[in-house]
Amino acid sequence: MIVCFDIGGSAIKTATATSPADMRMLGRRPTPLDDFDAFVAALAGAIDEAQAPAGAPVAISITGVVDPADGVIKCANIPAVDGLRLADMLSRRLERPVRIANDADCFALAEAGMGAGRGHSIVFGAILGTGVGGGLVIDGRLVTGAGGFAGEWGHGPVAATRAGNPPVDIPRLPCGCGLAGCVDTIGGARGMERLHKHLHARELMSHEIVTAWDAGDAAATRTVEVQVDLLAGPLALVANVVGADIIPVGGGLANSARFVAVLDEAVRARILRKAATPLVVPGTCRNEPGLIGAALLGFSGTAT
C-alpha cells in the first residue's frame, strides 16, 4: 500500500493505492500554511485514518518545485514547507519513505500512465489553470531536470507583444517569477481575464468569457482568438524541442473541449512535423489527477 497526498494551498487530499489503477479516496482536510508541526500532524492523522501499515510509503503531489539535487522545495503557497528538504524531513517525522513531486509533474505522470498519453513515448502535460505550467514524461519516467524546472513552459520573457488577426499590441505584463512578458501572464484563466480587460476594457471571469464565446459573442471571440495566438507559438516550440507525441491539457481551460481543439489546430499549424491527428488534447484523468500522479510516482522508478 502507498498513501497518496495531493497538497495545495487550501486542502490536503488523501488516498491509498495498492496499484496505480486501484485507489481508495479518503477525503480532504485544510492545509496548515504557516506551522510545520501542524502540517506534519495533518499528514500523520490522514495516515492513521488510512490504517496504513508501519513503514508504508508516502507519495505526494504538491504545489511548488522540488530541486532534485538537494531535495529543497520552493513553495510560496505553503510557507511552512518553503525552503525545506521536505521529503527527508517528512520521512523522519512520519517514519516511512516519502517521495514528492510538483503537481504539474504529477498531472503529466497521470496522463502518461492512465490518461490521454497512455501508449505514447513522449508526453508533455500542459496546465492551463490559474496560470501556465507543465510536466514531461519520457518512456514512463518523469523528467524534472536541473532545479526541478523541466516542463515549466509558462516562464521566460517570450510572450509576443502583438497577436491576433488583425494584430493588437499586447503589454509585457509583470510575472510573479520576477520577469515580465512570461506566457504565464497571458495564458490560463487569469491571462484570459487580463487579455479581455486589455482588449475590451471590461472585467469578466474566464468561465464567463468562455461561455460568451460559445454563444458567439464578438468580444469574447476576439479574446480567445488573441489568447490562442499567444499560446500556440510557445507551445509549438515546446512540442518541437521535446518531440512530444501528445500534449494532454489540464486546468480550468481544459474544461472547454472547444478551446483545446482550437489551440490544437493552431499548434499543429506551427510545428515542424505534420500531424494528421490531434496533438493537443484534453486530459482524461479528470478525477483527481494529482492523486493518480502521486500513486504513479510512488510505484515508479526515480525521476530524471
Confidence at residue 304, expressed as pLDDT on a 0 to 100 scale: 44
| Environment class of 278 (CB within 10 Å of its CB; exposed 0-12, middle 13-18, buried 19+) | middle
Model pLDDT for residues 129-149, shown as the tens digit of each residue:
999 999 999 999 999 999 999
Rounded Cα distance, 91 and 82, in Å: 16
**Cell numbers describing residue 59:** 507519495
Where b means 16+ CB within 10 Å and e means fewer, 144-163 reads beeebebbbbbbeeebbeeb
Rounded Cα distance, 271 and 259, in Å: 19
Domains (range + CATH), the chain: 2-105+288-299 (3.30.420.40), 119-282 (3.30.420.40)
Model pLDDT for residues 166-204, shown as the tens digit of each residue:
999 999 999 988 999 999 999 999 999 999 999 999 999
Model pLDDT for residues 1-58, shown as the tens digit of each residue:
999 999 999 999 999 999 888 999 998 999 999 999 999 999 999 999 999 999 999 9
